[in-house]
Amino acid sequence: MRDLTVIFDLDGTLVDTAPDLIAAANHALGDIGLDPVPGFVLAPAIALGARFMILDGLKHTGRHLPDGEVDRLLKLFLDYYLANIANESRPYPGAVDALTTLKAQGARLGICTNKRSHLSNALIGALGLNDLVHAVVGRDSVKKSKPHPEHLMETIRLADGDPKRAIMIGDTAVDVATARAAGVPVIGVPFGYSDRPITELAPDAVITHYDQLLPAIESLVRRFAAA
Mean pLDDT in consecutive groups of 10 residues from the start of the chain, 227 residues: 91 97 97 95 89 95 95 97 97 98 97 95 96 96 96 98 96 96 97 94 97 96 77
pTM reported for the whole predicted model = 0.92
Q: Active-site positions?
A: 9
Residue 122, SS3?
A: helix
What is the spatial distance between Cα 111 and Cα 224, in angstroms, rounded to a whole number? 23
Q: What is the pLDDT of residue 227?
A: 60
Which segments of the chain are extended strands (E)? 5-8, 15-16, 90-91, 108-112, 135-137, 166-170, 186-188, 205-206
Q: What is the pLDDT of residue 103?
A: 97
Q: What is the pLDDT of residue 4?
A: 96
Q: What is the pLDDT of residue 24?
A: 97
